[in-house]
Structure 1
Amino acid sequence: MTRWRRLGKVWGLWPAQPIALVEMVGGSYLAASPQLSYRRLLEGLADHNLAVHAWGYVPGFDHQAQANEAWKHLRRCRQQLEARVGALPTPLRLGHSLGCKLHLLAPDGGRNSRALVALSFNNFTADRSIPMLRELAPKLGFYTEFSPSPNETLRLIRESYHQPQNLLVSFGDDSLDQSPSLLHSLQQRVEDATQSLHLPGDHLTPASAGLRQNLLGDWADDSARAETLKQLVETISCWASP
């Protein structure tokens, strides 16, 4: 069985002879321990003989700086993996929620990726994402926003993101998903080939099965959610495989 390994700020799953690599950036505070919160999803990919690198982080206000950091750490881990197993195909980038935004802001504009699979893209303002901020900011007389802001993020995607191959995955009961605005921005680029996929579930479908399994065991799993996750693993594997 493939075991998790710690590679600085990245958690890795390395099959003995991986056929490709998936680079994962998770959403919000779920990404602090991606080897736990996305366990079922990522171990499912490893079962398809895909190496997995998942960057662990706590979100801040400077999303561009975090995008740069994620890209740097994932690139370094890819070099470590290839030094061990040999050259691999160009990696697939996988994001969930805020993680999609960080991949889209990568300093290489997506050029060094096979494609991006974006699960439940989220691009809310700071006061929408952090309810306490919405309450305190007026009382304290200050205003703060993520950098880049939601509107600036979409502009940068239109002008500086160059990967044509993208799959935007939305879930049926997800009030946090903003994939339509992302799709609109991507399709304004020349030669865009972005596709969309709609699955049953909610914003936590990619993560919650792993959380429940880790905390409560297999008996706590939901069969419908597990089936959606299985379909998600199959889809991502197809996009990642050469």
Structure 2
Amino acid sequence: MSSWVRFRDCWTLCPRQPRGLVEFVGGSYLAATPQISYRRLLEGLAARGVAVHAWSYVPGFDHQLQAREAWSAMRACRTRLQDRMGYLPPPLRLGHSLGCKLHLLAPDGGRNCSGLVALSFNNFTADQSIPLLGVVAPSLGVNTEFSPSPKETLRLIKRQYLQPRNQVVRFNRDQIDQSLDLITALQSRQGDQSELLRLPGDHLTPASAGLRRQFLGDWAEGSDRQQQVNRLQDLITSWALSGTVSSG
């Protein structure tokens, strides 16, 4: 397996003979360095023969803009990879937390991928995500919210997101997960094939071992944690290698 390489705000990792491609957007500030924050998960996918493109970003308030930026960067990386390797199956999109929302807001409505695996979907308001904002903003006369807002995000998913094939993953000890809202919105669409999967774990289960220990302590990393990640890697790999592109 090759080393991580940065291209167009993406960190890329490619096996010698990739059998598929995963386009990953991580959550909140973990996504600034996805090659570190999610190393265990993503390198496990590459070890299974799947190329990985992970977008690097710092979250802002305009999620619609960031969704377009992620989509554009991923498209450039995919074109570059296909020029080097030849044909690859349509990519699987993979998101964690806020990263799920950015994939769901992609300008192609999910048409140019084989599906989405959404881990720990999060759709909080700005003041829930940034606690001090609700205190400071009114005193400054500023009304600040994410664009689109949580309510508008779910409406856009129902009306404009066209990919029928989605695996929504909810971890049983995740206190900030909003996957039930997402699966309800997805399944309200005609022809939807989305499924909800409940797995053991918490909001940081997809994150790398060192990061989990930093936030949760040594107890957070045992053999059961590695088993959870292995199961996640197997699930994502099977989706990446078995999907077909949606025509919308």
Give the TM-score normalised by structure 1: 0.95
**Structure 2 equivalent of residue 12 of structure 1:** 12
Question: Take 1:126 and 1:219, find their aligned partners in 2: how far apart are those partners?
Answer: 31
CA contact (8 A) 1:40 1:210 kept: no
SS in 2 for 1:163: coil
Question: Take 1:124 and 1:211, find their aligned partners in 2: how far apart are those partners?
Answer: 23
1:77 to partner: Cα distance: 0.2
In the superposition, relative to structure 1, how do residues 140 and 213 fare at CA in structure 2: closer, same or farther (>3 Å)? closer
**Structure 2 equivalent of residue 25 of structure 1:** 25
Question: Take 1:2 and 1:222, find their aligned partners in 2: how far apart are those partners?
Answer: 28
CA contact (8 A) 1:36 1:210 kept: no
In the superposition, relative to structure 1, how do residues 80 and 231 fare at CA in structure 2: closer, same or farther (>3 Å)? same
Structure 2 segments unaligned to the other structure (5+ residues): 243-248
1:6-32 CA-partner distances (Å, limit 9, x unpaired):
112000001111001000000000000
Matches for 1:132-151 after TM superposition, within 5 Å: 132-151=132-151
Is 1:171 aligned with 2:161? no
SS in 1 for 2:154: helix
Moved more, 65-74 or 134-143: 134-143
CA contact (8 A) 2:90 2:113 kept: yes
CA contact (8 A) 2:204 2:212 kept: no
1:48-103 CA-partner distances (Å, limit 9, x unpaired):
10000000000000000000000000000000001111010000000000000000
Which stretches of structure 1, 4 residues or more, deviate above 3 A after TM superposition? 218-221
Letter in 2 for 1:39: R
Question: Take 1:203 and 1:92, find their aligned partners in 2: how far apart are those partners?
Answer: 21
CA contact (8 A) 2:101 2:123 kept: yes
Matches for 1:55-66 after TM superposition, within 5 Å: 55-66=55-66
Question: Take 1:142 and 1:219, find their aligned partners in 2: how far apart are those partners?
Answer: 42
Letter in 1 for 2:228: T
SS in 2 for 1:110: coil
**Structure 1 equivalent of residue 238 of structure 2:** 238
**Structure 1 equivalent of residue 121 of structure 2:** 121
1:139 to partner: Cα distance: 2.1
**Structure 1 equivalent of residue 245 of structure 2:** none
RMSD across aligned C-alpha pairs, in angstroms?
1.8
In the superposition, relative to structure 1, how do residues 219 and 154 fare at CA in structure 2: closer, same or farther (>3 Å)? closer
SS in 2 for 1:206: coil
Paired residues, number: 240
CA contact (8 A) 2:170 2:179 kept: yes
Question: Take 2:33 and 2:111, find their aligned partners in 1: how far apart are those partners?
Answer: 27
**Structure 2 equivalent of residue 90 of structure 1:** 90
Letter in 2 for 1:140: L
Structure 1 segments unaligned to the other structure (5+ residues): none
SS in 1 for 2:172: strand
